[in-house]
Every structure is written in structure tokens, then in C-alpha cells.
Amino acid sequence: MLAGGAAGTVLSGGLNDLLKQLQESGQGDVAKSWVGTGPNKTISPNDLASALGADQVGLLSAHSGMSQNDLLEGLSQYLPQVVDHMTPDGRVPTDQELSRSL
């Protein structure tokens, strides 16, 4: 599985949950930039690891077959684009809208 596919796995837990995790870890401005219509702010692999937590990173690594380091590098690169794609109107879609996108 590529990092982009792992991003889909992260989102399957719920886009709102992901954004909440980012906000609670001090990455709220980053999360807002991904949803908003302007340019996406970057997130470092370490900040993403902190936001997701060790258990979730370990689970994603196991499911993807990627090392945790490679996984976090890929997710930090692709996750902003995936969230941006899932929020083309600059807002978090409803669950029904999101299920049609996946």
C-alpha cells in the first residue's frame, strides 16, 4: 500500500476525527489550511506522529507494510492533498457526501 492509500485508511476513521486530533495536538492551523480553499500548510512527520499517536501509527504501519518512518514521511506529504481533495468546497463534507467520495 502506498502512503496515499494509508491516507485513505486514516480518513476511514473519520475526517472530523482526524481534524480533531490535529487540532488537539496544536496543529489546528495546519488542519484548517487543508480544509480551506487557500494553500495547504505542511506538517512534519514528527508532528503528524504526535497528532495520530503511537497506536494509530503502529496500526497504519502494520496494515501498509511500511516502516513507521516511511509511512509518516509519505503521509506528511500526501495527507494534506487528500484532505484538500475531500473538502473541495472549503468545508468538511457530511458523512453522506464523504461516503460517496470514497
pLDDT in tens, 75-94: 999 999 988 888 888 888 87
Q: How deeply is 48 buried, as exposed, middle or buried, from its count of CB atoms within 10 A (0-12, 13-18, 19+)?
A: buried
Return the number of other C-beta atoms located less than 10 Å from residue 31's C-beta: 22
Q: Residue type at 60?
A: L
Quick check: pTM over 0.85? no
Question: Which pLDDT tens digit goes with each residue over 5-49?
Answer: 555 545 545 788 899 999 999 999 999 999 988 899 999 999 999
Cell of 31: 488542519
